[in-house]
Chains A and B, each alone.
Chain A
């Protein structure tokens, strides 16, 4: 139990929905969500497939703890070959959609083919059918979600959909659920759009059973107490959200600024979590309206914000004078520091638009940052931008481009290429701050050495969530390591990658790991699921998942040469702060990493390694 043990297979070309049993042999080896869906994808598609062709598949997957009483048990993921990267993509979201899918009695939905016309999938418990989506095509995520609830006269329907960005082929389009939670990265929304699939609407009333309810309640209650008593999950995240990091990372000298030209941002405090609590002059209210939790989450890091009603972005537009998903640290950084914009309301507005149009604020902001650098170099002209003065720090340029990019219009269509294609097009590929085509998140790897290796080796392109060594290097969790030293970071990255592979396959949030180790997680899975689930078994699964993703990428054509960082991080030293004079020492860490992983010097898992992880 805890798995629903049912997979919904939707053939969009044929217009069919079929039930099949979950492969429990694979569930035992890959647990669920990220791991299990990656196994399905790797078995079912050719890794060389064009991500936007009908031959690519898109899998929506929950984990065994999704929908249960476990804290943060609302996570779900989208697994596909990424449109932004051409690599394995796994984008994780929270909100309420994933739990609802599980309540309806499904572990995952596999979409294959391409619909001849726009459709949405409607799931009501056991019943699943494809419906005409012509009235929603061309609409935003917000309009689509509201429309579907009205159409079916059911406010409790949960919706995951793409906005105009996904329809327009913006390379970093995401899938947004519950209005502002997102499977945001790697272009999973672009893949969904290429299939003419607008939305998935689900209502579940069957519930999720666990194997041993008494043991499960005990294990989850003990684990919740650990979260409540921890300084990060019990205090920092509830008080300031992930934005607790803005000032901390800036002081560390690891806040990438102006397309990574700088590592500290003068305006950081203006866009920080603390700034979100300051009452503003116009209406006396702070930016932060409320903490909003995802399903089952006892941390509650989510921010619900409002924009100053007198701000230029919204003063004549009442539809944005509402409370909605506010700035998380990654969005605040990408929309702010990366572009040099320190106008909190402008960033909140751009973030609203990213949610409304379904695009990744990290890749969007970082791509705008790259375009700003090209503009200041004179490579991109005001004629090409359609009159937008694209200099660093221009809030209006940022907010205008958010709207244009979301619709794929004007210079927004260029931003929608992502930084890799955009900088290549304008002849400066070195200025794309990305790995495998995916833009960096909010940590500069010159000031946090382990993150350089994290980014370079991440299977879905640059990502902080695959091995968040920031926890160790900055916050001292589980133990403090020196962020400026690359010594021992290969082993640290591997430990984080493997543990995270297990967490992401379970249905819970990786933020729990600020407080939980696998010792806290294993008993919850063990009580929820059949079979024996130990820490060792979870670590084996983590490594197996990591290696499977790596194998997929190698079969897709990636090599060790793609485990690299842009020249800027390897050659241009940090100019200020504690990391002044440092570059990232990837060249030192990578060979050690390959060796510890049991991979060849070219980064290919050896046959012995594949045998060891049972692949």
Chain B
């Protein structure tokens, strides 16, 4: 086996995709950008990120791989085709090694690794090598590229505001 997760941690300041469904309008610019970068054409059917439309509830929810540290897909792969990209921490599929067995698609609890029938390989988000196209394409800030250790800060901040009873009482 190559590098362990712990080796990676020592060398890198990690970033993560932050998905804020409340801001999503369902335009699919993320899917277009993802497929343009990865497939060379605009083709949401081959996008690594998907926007789900819960129509009757009026909700749009973008979702993609969250790059688990101890990734089920990586551990399940029988041919070690899924490895950690050193610069980003992304779990990356090697097309040269992937045999299309789909065990990773079963192992992943979140459904974010999928088989591509036109290549016989699996596809998943690789964080575009550290400059995710989906985040750049999102017009509403529903997908952003932030410090991995701070993905909850905005939400925390909005709750923090409502807990500040003392300041209000003193004012």
Binding site for B on A (CB under 8 A): 67-69, 71, 96, 99, 103, 156, 179, 204-210, 213, 217, 224, 228, 289-298, 300, 302, 304-306, 322-324
Contacts and interface: CB of A to CB of B under 8 A. Distances in A.
B67 interface: no
Contact of B58 (A99, A156, A289): A289
Interface of B: 25-29, 32-33, 35-36, 39-46, 55-60, 118, 137, 139-140
B58 A290 contact: yes
Given A208-B41, A209-B40, A296-B27, A290 B59 contact: yes
5 contacts: A205-B46, A292-B58, A322-B57, A323-B57, A323-B58
Contact of A296 (B28, B46, B140): B28
A156 B27 contact: no
Contact of A69 (B26, B39, B137): B137
B36 A156 contact: no
Contacts of A305: 58
A219 to B, nearest CB: 13
Contacts of A67: 42
Q: Is the interface of A mostly helix, strand, loop or mixed?
A: loop
Given A67-B42, A207-B45, A213-B40, A293 B27 contact: yes
Contacts of B36: 69, 213, 217
B26 A292 contact: yes
Q: Which 10 A-B pairs have the closest CB atoms?
A: A207-B43, A323-B58, A207-B41, A298-B139, A293-B27, A289-B58, A205-B45, A293-B25, A322-B56, A300-B25
B55 A324 contact: yes
Contacts of A68: 32, 42
Given A217-B36, A290-B58, A323-B55, A297 B27 contact: yes
B102 to A, nearest CB: 18
Q: Which of the listed residues B26, B43, B59 has the most CB atoms from chain A within 10 Å of its own CB?
A: B26
Contact of A294 (B27, B41, B46, B137): B27
Given A69-B33, A296-B32, A207 B39 contact: yes
Contacts of A304: 58
B63 to A, nearest CB: 15
A291 B142 CA distance: 13
Contacts of A289: 58
Contact of B42 (A71, A156, A207, A302): A207
B48 to A, nearest CB: 14
- Central interface residue in B40, B44, B118, by most chain A CB within 10 Å: B44
**Residue among A68, A205, A322 facing the most chain B CB atoms (10 A cut-off):** A205
Given A209-B40, A213-B36, A322-B56, 6 more contacts: A209-B42, A290-B25, A298-B27, A300-B27, A300-B139, A323-B55
A356 B42 CA distance: 31
B59 to A, nearest CB: 7
Contacts of B26: 292-293
A290 B60 contact: yes
B46 A207 contact: yes
Contacts of A103: 42-45
Nearest to B137: A69
A205 B41 CA distance: 11
B44 A323 contact: no
Given A294-B27, A300-B139, A323 B56 contact: yes
B58 to A, nearest CB: 3
A228 B139 contact: yes
Nearest to B56: A322
Contacts of B28: 96, 295-296
A181 to B, nearest CB: 12
Nearest to B53: A292
A156 B45 contact: yes
A217 B127 CA distance: 19
Nearest to A303: B58
Nearest to A298: B139
A207 B39 CA distance: 9
Contact of B56 (A96, A228, A293, A324): A324
Nearest to B40: A213
B160 to A, nearest CB: 24
A209 B27 contact: no
A306 B32 CA distance: 29
Contacts of B118: 205
Contacts of A300: 25, 27, 139-140
A156 B58 CA distance: 17
Given A291-B25, A323-B55, A224 B139 contact: yes
A206 B43 contact: yes
